[in-house]
């Protein structure tokens, strides 16, 4: 049986100062995984079939479909992908497997490997992140698929090819091409996307924590992007550039006061704040409790705060109480950087 299991972590896009260019992969401070798991096998070898109705690890029967049987495949879509979805958030995924970013990621890999057909695949997605949460949910799926499929095929893709495939699939979910989420989720750590589409690793203090408050709300990336203006005033463009450049300098120089001053979003947050009920009160509560910065994670509605390790529990409680005051339940996760990013968990290859 030829089979690969891979993991894609949760992430924070934009990281306050870096709209579309700065992202961080995160994991709970206790070390538990927090993301999506993908298992890919060649059809006929994995021992599974879409018609079997096999139960996933969660014990629930997943959403099952075969692209070729539902409708003629669109250009670029691999026709022989059987998708099985389970996990706590599988019910939030599109009903049509052709609209699932896991299948889009297979298509993107096929596009990079021009002239090399993919085998018939059985793909199981265990959805561990809520959709529309601001935690890089689609990116976690995409990078897990890209890593798993690359391993299944004998690792034909270099880092640039992996990132290109992940970016193409993520663009389907987001409605636009931006690499901040997928770069960090794929490669790990805090990543800055450079003008050439590369992903530069930035230093980040080990003693700082990301405190995430995940509310019982949903906000799609497409909707959050639609709230943004098509142009910005020159003064704002200059201020945004200064803030991002200063933040990158602060990280390299170890200038903590400058880092605190630059953990703010001048560009997107003012337009998105109204889309998240209670956001301004939650933000103010986090800052009052000692957070260095507090903003929307990615497109939102999740809010993240950066805090020293000792202050993280108090910041988390302040965020929780503020959400409760707005009538919104939330979950708190204290996280560190996931410095590994997407990775293969298990690989079975009887011929290898």
pLDDT tens-digit series, residues 126-142:
999 999 999 999 999 99
Q: Alpha-carbon distance 12 to 211, whole Å?
A: 11
> Tokens in use for 187?
């490669």
Mean pLDDT, the chain, whole residue set: 88
> Tokens in use for 220?
């799609």
**HEC readout, 140-164:** HHHHHHHHHHHHHCCCCCCHHHHHH
> Does 312 score more than 70 pLDDT?
yes
Q: Alpha-carbon distance 328 to 278, whole Å?
A: 8
Domains of the chain: 3-199+342-348 (3.30.230.10), 203-337 (3.30.70.890)
> Tokens in use for 56?
């996933």
Q: Alpha-carbon distance 68 to 73, whole Å?
A: 6
Residue 116's pLDDT is what? Answer: 78
Q: What integer is the mean pLDDT of 8-20?
A: 95
CB 89 within 8 A of CB 50: no
ω before 301 within 30° of 0 (cis)? yes
> Tokens in use for 287?
């800052």
> Does 188 score more than 50 pLDDT?
yes
* Element (DSSP H or E) covering residue 206: none
Percent of the chain with pLDDT over 90: 78
Q: Alpha-carbon distance 105 to 170, whole Å?
A: 8
Percent of the chain with pLDDT over 70: 88
pLDDT tens-digit series, residues 24-73:
999 999 878 899 999 999 986 433 333 333 323 332 222 323 332 223 33
- H helix intervals, 211-348: 221-226, 234-253, 256-262, 269-272, 279-288, 312-325
Which of 12-16, 36-40, 72-76, 92-96 shows the lowest mean pLDDT across its residues?
Answer: 72-76
Beta strands at 199-202 and 208-215: parallel, antiparallel or unpaired: unpaired
Q: Alpha-carbon distance 14 to 268, whole Å?
A: 9
Q: Alpha-carbon distance 244 to 81, whole Å?
A: 41
Beta strands at 81-86 and 121-126: parallel, antiparallel or unpaired: parallel
Closest CA to 219 of 17, 7, 13: 13
Q: How many other CB atoms are found less than 10 A from the CB of residue 330?
A: 23
């Amino acid at each position: 049986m030829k089979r690969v299991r891979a993991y894609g972590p949760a992430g924070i896009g934009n990281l306050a100062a870096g709209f579309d260019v700065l992202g961080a992969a995160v994991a709970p401070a206790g070390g538990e995984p927090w993301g999506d798991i993908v298992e890919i096998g060649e059809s006929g070898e994995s021992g599974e079939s879409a018609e079997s109705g096999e139960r996933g690890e969660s014990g629930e029967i997943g959403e099952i479909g075969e692209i070729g049987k539902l409708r003629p495949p669109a250009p670029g879509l691999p026709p022989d992908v059987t998708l099985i979805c389970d996990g706590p958030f599988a019910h939030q995924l599109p009903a049509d497997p052709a609209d699932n970013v896991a299948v889009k990621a297979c298509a993107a890999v096929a596009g990079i490997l021009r002239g090399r057909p993919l085998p018939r695949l059985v793909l199981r997605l265990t959805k561990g992140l809520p959709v529309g949460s601001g935690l890089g949910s689609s990116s976690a799926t995409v990078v897990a698929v890209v890593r798993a499929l690359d391993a299944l095929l004998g690792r034909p893709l270099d880092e640039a090819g992996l990132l290109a495939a992940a970016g193409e699939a993520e663009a389907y979910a987001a409605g636009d091409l931006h690499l901040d989420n997928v770069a960090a989720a794929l490669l790990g750590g805090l990543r800055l996307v450079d003008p050439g589409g590369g992903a530069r690793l930035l230093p980040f203090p080990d003693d700082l924590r990301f405190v995430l408050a995940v509310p019982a709300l949903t906000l799609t990336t497409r909707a959050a992007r639609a709230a943004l203006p098509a142009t910005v005033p020159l003064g704002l463009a200059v201020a945004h550039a200064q803030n991002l450049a200063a933040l990158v300098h602060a990280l390299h120089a170890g200038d903590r006061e400058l880092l605190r001053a630059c953990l703010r979003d001048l560009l997107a947050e003012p337009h998105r704040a109204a889309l998240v009920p209670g956001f301004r009160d939650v933000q103010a509560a986090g800052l009052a409790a000692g957070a260095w910065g507090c903003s929307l994670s990615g497109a939102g509605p999740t809010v993240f705060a950066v805090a020293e390790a000792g202050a993280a529990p108090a910041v988390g409680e302040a965020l929780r109480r503020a959400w409760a005051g707005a009538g919104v339940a939330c979950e708190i996760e204290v996280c560190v950087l996931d410095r590994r990013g997407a990775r293969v968990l298990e690989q079975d290859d009887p011929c290898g």
